[in-house]
Amino acid sequence: MLKKSAANVVGLALALFFLFPTYWMITSALKPKGSTITSDYDLIPFSVTFTNFVTAWTKPGFLSSLGNSLLVTLTAVVAAIVIGITAAVAMSRFAFRGRKSFVLLMLVAQMAPFEALLIPMFLMMRDLQLYEHLSSLILVYFAVTLPFCAWTLRGFVNGIPIELEEAAMVDGCGRWGAFQKVTLPLLGPGLVATSVFAFITAWNEFLFAKVLIRSQDSETLPVWLSGFQTAFGTDWGGAMAASALFTVPALVFFLIVQRKMVAGVTAGAVKG
C-alpha cells in the first residue's frame, strides 16, 4: 500500500512537470499588462484579462500567417491523403509485379531525413520559380507526409477483410462501388488518425518554411512566432497568448485521435 501511494506521488509530480509549461503559457497570457514582467513571485495569477489575446490577434502578420499555415497544411495533407489512399489500395488489394518493391520504397521514403535535402529542395524550388511562393511549401509538406500516409493507410486497408468487398461485388457492385460503399466507410477512423498526424507534422514544420519563404506576407505561423521578439519586444504576455492560439488547433486534433492511436498501438503490441 505504501509502495502504491509512493508511486502515486511520483505520478502526480510528473503530471505537474508535463503540465507546467502549458499552465505557465496560459496564466502568463491572462495576466494584465505590466504584471507579466515583474520581479514579484507570481506563480498564481490574481487578476485575469484577455487583452493579451486581443494584442496577439491584431498584431500585424498574425492573421495572415495563421491563414498561410492553414492553407499550406490543409492543402498538403488533403493531397497526401487522397494520393495516399490510392497507393494504399493498390499495395494492399492487388497482386502485381513489383508490389514488394513499392511497399519497401514507401517504408524507406517515410524515414528519409528531409532536413538533409534542404539544399537540393531550395535549388529545385528556385529553378521551378516557386521560391517565395506558398506552393513550394505545399509541395514539400506533401512530399514529407505522402509516404507516411500511404504506408499507414496500407496498414488500415489490410485490416479490412477483403471478403466484405467481395460480398459487395457478388451482390452486383462494381469494384469502385465496393470500395466506395464498403472499404471507404470502414477506413474512416484510420483516415482521421492518419490525417491528424500528417497535419501536426506540417503544422510544426519550421526549417523549410524559414528557407523557402522570405517575404512577411507569405510567412507561416512557426516562422512568424520565431520572430516574436520583433513583433512583441519583451511583451511576454502577448507572445504567450500567440503561442496559446497556435496550440489550440493542434490540441483539438490531438484530442480527436488520442484514443484511436493508443488503441492501434495496443492492437499491434498484442499480436506482434
Partner 1 sequence: MTAVKTTETAAPAGDIPPALPPAVTGGARKRRRRGGAFDRALPYLLLAPALIAILWLIGWPVVSVFVTSFRQLNLGELVRGEIVWTGFDNYVTVLQDERFWDVSVRTLVFTVSVVVASVGMGLGIALLMRVLTPWVRVALQIAMLCAWAMPILASTTVYQWMFDQNYGILNKTLVQLGFDSFAGYSWFSSGTSTLSVVGLLIVWQAIPFLAFSLYAGLVGIPRDLYEAAGIDGATGWQTFRAVTWPEIRSLLMMVTFLSTLWDFKVFAQIWVFREGGPSGESTTLPVLQYLEGIAKSHFGVAAAISVLMMVILGLITFQYLRKLLQTEEGKI
Contacts of partner 1 in 200-219 (CB under 8 A): 200-201, 203-204, 206-207, 210-211
Measured over the CA atoms of residue 255, residue 257, residue 259 and residue 261, the dihedral's sign is negative
Do the Cβ atoms of 187 and 153 come closer than 8 Å?
yes
Q: At what angle do helices 134-159 and 99-109 cross, to 10 degrees?
A: 130
* Cell numbers describing residue 252: 483539438
Q: Which is nearer to partner 1, 40 or 47 (CB)?
A: 40
Q: What angle do CA 225, 128, 67 make, to 5 degrees?
A: 30
> Which region, judged by CB under 8 A, interacts with partner 1, from 48-56, 60-68, 70-78, 148-156?
148-156
Residue 159 interacts with partner 1 (CB under 8 A): yes or no: yes
Residue 104 interacts with partner 1 (CB under 8 A): yes or no: yes
Q: Which of residues 167-206 bind partner 1 (CB under 8 A)?
A: 169-170, 175, 178, 190, 193, 197, 200-201, 203-204, 206
Q: Work out how close the CB of 64 gets to partner 1 at its nearest, in angstroms, rounded to a whole number.
A: 16
In angstroms, the CA 64 to CA 58 distance is 10
Mask: binding to partner 1, 19-48, rule CB under 8 A, as x and -? Answer: x-xx-xx--x-------xxxx-x-x-----
Residue 87 interacts with partner 1 (CB under 8 A): yes or no: yes
Among 31, 75, 134, 154, binds partner 1 (CB under 8 A): 154
Residue 148 interacts with partner 1 (CB under 8 A): yes or no: yes
Residue 83 interacts with partner 1 (CB under 8 A): yes or no: yes
- Give the distance from CA 93 to its chain's centroid: 28
Among 1, 2, 44, 119, binds partner 1 (CB under 8 A): 119
Residue 146 interacts with partner 1 (CB under 8 A): yes or no: yes
What residue ranges in 35-132 does DSSP mark as E strands? none
150 backbone φψ class: left, alpha, beta (φ>0; ψ -120 to 50): alpha
How does DSSP classify residue 132?
A: T
Single-letter amino acid, residue 272? G
Do the Cβ atoms of 171 and 162 come closer than 8 Å?
no
Residue 74 interacts with partner 1 (CB under 8 A): yes or no: no
> Which region, judged by CB under 8 A, interacts with partner 1, from 48-56, 59-67, 95-103, 180-188?
95-103
In angstroms, the CA 177 to CA 190 distance is 20
Q: Which of residues 230-249 bind partner 1 (CB under 8 A)?
A: 236, 239-240, 242-244, 246-247
